[in-house]
């Protein structure tokens, strides 16, 4: 073989081999993820705007097939009344499914309580829902891998895989999980994953006439929710648990638990 042919063949072989090696290389999921624009769902609640109408609770229950009259709900609204003496009175009748229409505040076994208008220093509503934490306690305690976090941050429950042991319901510091009375599995807010993944809004945020609830992508600097979380004074619930909640509140008081 002539030297020229040898070099030519060697060049062809090497280039051919390198192409086929490149084609055989397996795709690393992390590389694929980096190629996609990053997405991390987050939620913003403006408590100043909430008027306690409870349309969000009703919309959530209808949208997600939670029986209306069952005493469980994926989202609810709490009423806080703080008196001038510093007493905190709060209630959430039926999770505010029918809103707040009475001045009587339900104090469970001690009955209904009415605080005179002159006695009230502060009174406001706080909507609650799953915080879709960055380090969710409920997911860690699941013994069968039925509850999990997606790469875009939502915490979901696999209804086919859940054995209904209830560890996650006990593990959640925010009490957002419950036992679904019809499906007989653990259930919780999904951020309306079926709606937001298909370009929609969550049922609760859409039903809110006052814009008290908003969902957005925390990784997108132009997203109104991400902007508010970055530039405004927002708080989260029970920060001390280290769960890194991703539902942010504007106007959160220390009395709110």
Partner 1 sequence: MKGHVWRPLLVVIGLVIIILVARMFYVPEDFGAQDRGYTFGYHRLSNEQEWKDYPAKYQDSEYCSGCHDDKTEELNAAQHGMIPCENCHGAAFDHPDDPEKLTIDRSRDLCLRCHSELYMPSSGRNDIPGVNPEEHNAGLECVECHNSHNPSLEEM
C-alpha 62: how far from chain center: 18
**In the complex, minimum distance from the CB of residue 61 to partner 1, in angstroms, rounded to a whole number:** 10
Site track 78-107 with partner 1 (rule: CB under 8 A), x = hit: --------------------xxxxxx----
Residues 158-177 binding partner 1 (CB under 8 A) are 158, 160-161
Sole binder of partner 1 in the list 76, 124, 174, 178 (CB under 8 A):
124
Residue 128: name the closest of 166, 74, 63 by CA: 74
19-27, 131-139, 172-180, 224-232 -> range binding partner 1 (CB under 8 A) = 131-139
Instruction: Based on the shown chain and the rule CB under 8 A, indicate whether residue 197 belongs to the binding site for partner 1.
Output: yes
Instruction: Based on the shown chain and the rule CB under 8 A, indicate whether residue 49 belongs to the binding site for partner 1.
Output: yes
9-17, 66-74, 150-158, 168-176 -> range binding partner 1 (CB under 8 A) = 150-158
Sole binder of partner 1 in the list 183, 193, 235, 236 (CB under 8 A):
193
The residues that touch partner 1, with contacts defined as CB under 8 A, are 29, 33, 47-55, 59, 62-64, 98-103, 117, 120-125, 135-136, 139-140, 145-151, 156, 158, 160-161, 190, 192-195, 197-198, 200-201, 203, 206-207, 209-210, 212, 251
């Amino acid at each position: 073989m002539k030297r020229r042919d040898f070099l030519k063949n060697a060049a062809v072989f090497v280039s051919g081999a390198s192409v086929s090696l490149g084609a055989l290389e397996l795709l690393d999921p992390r590389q694929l993820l980096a190629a996609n624009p990053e997405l991390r769902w987050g939620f913003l609640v403006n408590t100043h705007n909430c008027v306690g109408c409870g349309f969000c609770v009703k919309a959530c229950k209808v949208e997600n097939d939670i029986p209306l009259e069952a005493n469980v709900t994926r989202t609810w609204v709490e009423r806080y009344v703080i008196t001038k003496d510093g007493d905190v009175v709060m209630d959430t009748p039926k999770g505010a499914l029918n809103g707040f229409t009475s001045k009587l505040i339900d104090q469970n076994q001690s009955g209904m309580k009415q605080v005179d208008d002159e006695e009230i220093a502060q009174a406001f509503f706080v909507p609650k829902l799953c915080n879709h934490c960055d380090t969710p306690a409920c997911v860690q305690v699941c013994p069968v891998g039925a509850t999990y976090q997606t790469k875009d941050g939502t915490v979901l429950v696999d209804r086919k895989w859940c054995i209904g042991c209830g560890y996650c319901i006990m593990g959640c510091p925010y009490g957002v999980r419950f036992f679904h009375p019809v499906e007989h599995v653990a259930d919780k807010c999904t951020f309306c994953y079926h709606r937001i993944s298909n370009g929609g809004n969550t049922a609760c945020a859409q039903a809110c006439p006052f814009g008290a609830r908003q969902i957005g992508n925390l990784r997108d600097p132009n997203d109104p929710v991400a902007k508010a979380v970055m530039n405004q004074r927002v708080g989260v619930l029970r920060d001390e648990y280290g769960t890194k909640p991703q539902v942010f509140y504007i106007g959160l008081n220390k009395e709110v638990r």
